[in-house]
Structure 1
Amino acid sequence: MPTRAKTFDSHYPVTGDAIGTFPIHTDADVRVAVAQARIASDKWVALGFRGRKKVLLAWSKLLMERIEECTALISMETGKPVSDAKLEASLAAGHLAWAARHAQEVMRTSHRSPGAVMANMSATVERSPVGVVGVIGPWNYPIFTPMGSIAYALAAGNTVVFKPSEFTPGVGVWLARTFAEVAPFSNIFLCVTGLGDTGRALCEAHVDKLAFTGSTKTAMVVAATCAKTMTPVVLECGGKDPVIVAHDADIKRAAENSIWSSMSNGGQTCIGAERIYVVESVADEFIAAMLDAVKNIKPGEPGVGNYGPATMPKQLEIIQSHIKDALKSGGRAIYGGAKSVKDPYVEPVILVDVPEDSMAMQDETFGPTIIINRVKNVDEAIILSNASRYGLGASVWSKRQGKKIAAQLHCGMVAINSTISFAAVASVPFGGVKDSGYGRIHGPEGILEFTYARTIVRARFQLPITFTSFKRTAGNDKLIIKLTRLLNGRFG
């Protein structure tokens, strides 16, 4: 008798009840999926920009037509409010449409100046899709985040094999099923499900590029695994995103946005606020505004709470350990505290005066907590913001100094007088530096990330002097040196 495939369940985080059963795809299954995607790759490329645009726009339209179905599934697998799931799905569909409409323009052949010495040459740079892209997605935003890789890779002409998080496999399977409804042929976008070993198998399956979203610790393992097969990677990892509140900030708006940034989705947002540096002169006013903004915020199941439970149960231990460490090291809780962790929920927690070297300030908490520390001035806030090993996003609140402050922050994205707004703008790149990863999704950079450059230099006519020949003379060498010194890159 044939051996039955192993399976795993996804669960409703509010109750822990199983809500779906999915296959654990083996190494062999993943290799087959990649092979199928590779066969389909040539046909997908041959469809051209117009053909792919038509397919992807149809998919975007279908996602919006099925948004109720989609968001119910997201809410069930993550526990987040349906409203939040709708925002996530809408943004994902928007990014998909943007990538479809702009891929041709972004990948247009670029004509370059050959320089005066090589004036007889025509120099161009073409962009080609890498081939098959593997995507390993997260559980906190199971459609929006992976779509930042999937949409841009597909628009560039690649086929995709997607491995969703084991906490949200249903969303990944649903995405692949809806794409199949508009696809002109099969195996353009495939989904494989499973646990960590399935992700490892995708890293080892000789895809042409792999995009991963998750913790920095796991990203290091992914990068090391991919390095064995020389597979390039895009890594979007965690953050310890700072908020800077200057003396001229709109205090009430800064507080309301910071509470939402730190606590929406249960704080399970890599670009959410985790630490706030507020200038001393407005600190009391800001803290009072934060306390006012948080007083009616509470967790609960969809339809009840402002945010849901911890989607990944083991995160509760991390959140509680950070709160306890902050208090033990000298910080104070002015709203909530260690007892706010009540499985499966974490009630809002606001901490102040937490030492910079504490675990709560150094490591990503990924929960509905926020730390507020006072600083003498904006310069000190910038120094402390940059002291982190992370460098994903940041938020700056200032009526007159926003751009100046933003330009000095060591991170990939900054929102001025807003919060995480950069994620919603499809035309700008998304990604971090330092331990927050490398590579970019979204925007033109997100399309180019899944391509490679091909340089083509063509002789338009032959020069009387041949430089690339064994017949080159000493006089030729002198001429080359003379021209190089004279021109000095002026006409390159």
Structure 2
Amino acid sequence: MTQTAPGSSAVTTTGDGRFASLDPRTGEVVAHHPVHTPQQVADAVAQARRASNWWQELGFDGRKARLDAWRRLLVKRLDEAAGLISAETGKPAADAKLEMVIVIDHLHWAAKNAERVLRKRRVPAGLLMSNQSATIEYLPVGVVGVIGPWNYPAFTPMGSIAYALAAGNTVVFKPSELTPGVGTWLSDTLAEIVPEHPVLSVVTGFGETGAALCRSGVDKLAFTGSTATGKRVMAACAESLTPVLVECGGKDALIVDFDADVALAADAAVWGAMSNAGQTCIGVERVYVHEDVAEEFTAAVRKLAAKVRPGGDPGADLGPITMPSQVDIIRSHVQDAIDKGAKALVGGVESVRPPFVEPVVLADVPEDSLAITDETFGPTITINRVRDTDEAIRLANAGRYGLGGTVFSKARGEQLARRLKAGMVSINGVVAFAAIPSLPFGGIGDSGFGRIHGEDGLREFARPQAVARRKFKPLLNPMSFTRGAGTVRQLLAIVKLRYGRK
């Protein structure tokens, strides 16, 4: 196999219109993939549009049958998918398998619930329009473009792909250049179930390929990635008024109240911060702990984090940093925090050893540090003690992100969760909301807008159509130039009688 130095480059180009995805643990080439040109992207979208009518005409039952068959195939070949995820991201095999388990659960939910959520239903016409029958249904938008990330190369894009397909759309998917094989594998497996038409196509390449998808005439674009790239995606889509769903980064906080189960909170904090080597948009990056339990909590986190080991071997807890450029960001955040007075309880700058980063636990971190204000995306965590939960909420909400959050409290979990400026919150657990298919997933602020998963996720890829149908001639018809002189006067009398009283 061709090899490069581990961590030196995420991808290599071959000079023949192809590029190689690399195993970040070893630098070995996993596979080669084409760099699709703007014309090839346009052709893929045109093919998807031709397939769109056929896919829509299958109806909910027909699509469900195909998606259920795809689900069964994914279960059968789960180990194969997990092996490819591990090869392209470097994450441990168990974590890759867990990712596929959640993918399968979401695919099942989307296929099962699409008809219930999107089908035509009657709604009340109201007193004044009682001669009308009112209905609403959610129709497919057509062709959905999806631009996916590398950190969860199956789970995250499938949050758009599965729900878009279940809603009756066809999809053109541009995976990250770091994980093109996972995206291609997903498309190939669905093609085994749906050989008639390319209802899920994949285009591979770099930023130019993604930009071409934004400008290709898709009917909606779903993007997951950094806030900076999300803004560029929005600008490109704005040229044609293509609607977008944008899921960007986060700087999620975990709050530990005075009555929390400290051991449980510490375990959740370490998992939420360190799993997948911290490369999780909804991962825990900041902790605000009540001073009454701060010492106990910090000691527990310190003990647990010290046992977590990165590496490329099967027994490692963490894999490498998948995107080599992220290593410098992690190092700069740790260094900045320490320079400003933070205490390194576990690890430090020396923990950054590309392509791996050992766990880093920082305490008493100034709120203007990069480790507090910016997304680190590494196996690091900051712990700051607070006088009370009011201070914790204020600090947790002070940033520009608003993706997820976590609260540990025996008595006030719901109350504190409602005060967090976040699209999703776990109480006495961590990132649980992501694995519950019926819950919408998405954020606010610099974390983006729009929702995948759940009923909101299905409707995100549909267009509501309202229909009013006349049933009989109304007693009073104000919507005509032939209306009588007293029509509006009579309507006003009815309104005052019906709505004017307490």
TM tier relative to shorter chain = over 0.9
Shift of 1:327: 0.9
> What residue number does 2:333 align with?
322
Contact 1:262 1:370 in 2 (8 A): yes
Please state how far the C-alpha of 1:471 moved relative to its aligned partner: 1.6
Q: So what's the TM-score if we normalise by structure 2? A: 0.95
Contact 1:133/1:161 (CA < 8 Å) preserved in 2? yes
Matched with 2:350 is 339
Instruction: Give the Cα–Cα distance (whole angstroms) in 2 for the partners of residues 103 and 19 of structure 1.
Output: 36
Q: Distance in 2 between matches of 1:328 and 1:479?
A: 76
Residue of structure 1 aligned with 2:67, choices 56, 67, 78: 56
CA contact (8 A) 1:12 1:78 kept: yes
Compute the displacement of 1:16 (Å).
1.9
Q: Could you tell me which residue of structure 1 aligns to residue 441 of structure 2? A: 430
Deviations 1:259-298 (A, max 9, x none): 0110010100000000000000100000010011112111
The 5-angstrom pairing of residues 68-467 of structure 1 reads 68-467=79-478
Contact 1:79 1:302 in 2 (8 A): no
Change beyond 3 A, Cα 1:123–1:322: same
Partner-residue secondary structure (3-state), 2:284: coil
* Comparing 474-483 and 441-450, the one that deviates more: 474-483
Q: Secondary structure at the match of 2:190?
A: helix
SS at match of 1:281: coil
1:482 deviation in Å? 2.6
Cα distance in 1 for residues equivalent to 2:313 and 2:33: 24
Counterpart for residue 18 of structure 1: 29
Find the aligned partners of 2:276 and 2:497 in 1 and give their Cα distance.
Answer: 61
Distance in 2 separating the partners of 1:73 and 1:198: 22
Q: 2:419 is paired with a residue of what secondary structure?
A: coil
Cα distance in 1 for partners of 2:484, 2:388 equals 66
2:57 to 31, 35, 46: 46
The separation in 1 between residues aligned to 2:228 and 2:377, in whole angstroms, is 14
Q: CA deviation at 1:353?
A: 0.7
Query: What is the Cα deviation at residue 384 of structure 1?
Result: 0.8
Q: Which amino acid aligns with 2:262?
A: I
Structure 1 outlier segments of 4+, above 4 Å = none
Matches of 1:17 and 1:47 in 2, distance apart?
43
Q: Which runs of 5+ in 1 are unaligned?
A: none
Inter-partner Cα distance in structure 2 for 1:485 and 1:241: 51
- Equivalent pair of 1:244/1:278 in contact (CA under 8 Å): yes
Partners of 2:344 and 2:500 in 1: CA distance: 61
Aligned residues: 487
CA–CA distance in structure 1, aligned partners of residues 242 and 452 of structure 2: 17
Taking the aligned partners of 1:216 and 1:169, their CA distance within structure 2 comes to: 21
Q: Distance in 2 between matches of 1:308 and 1:328?
A: 28
Task: State the alpha-carbon separation in 2 of the partners of residues 92 and 5 from structure 1.
Answer: 34
Secondary structure at the aligned position of 1:319 is classed as helix
Do residues 35 (structure 1) and 50 (structure 2) align? no
Shift of 1:473: 3.7
Alignment gaps of 5+ in structure 2: 1-14
Shift of 1:469: 1.1
Structure 1 contact 237–437 (Cα < 8 Å) conserved: yes
SS in 2 for 1:206: coil
Look up the equivalent residue of 1:256 and give its one-letter code.
D
SS at match of 1:407: helix
**SS state at 2:99 partner:** helix
d(CA) in 1 for partners of 2:339 and 2:458? 47
Q: Distance in 2 between matches of 1:342 and 1:123?
A: 63
Cα deviation code 1:176-230 (max 9, x no counterpart): 1100000151211111101110000000001001100000110011011111111
- Identical-pair percentage: 54
Residues 415-435 of structure 1 show CA distances to partners (whole Å, capped at 9, x for unaligned) of 001000001101111110111
The TM-score, its normalising length taken from structure 1, stands at 0.97
> Take 1:112 and 1:486, find their aligned partners in 2: how far apart are those partners?
24
Whichever residue aligns with residue 476 of structure 1, its letter is T
User: C-alpha deviations, 1:40-84, integer Å up to 9, x for none?
Assistant: 101101101111001001101101100111111000000000000
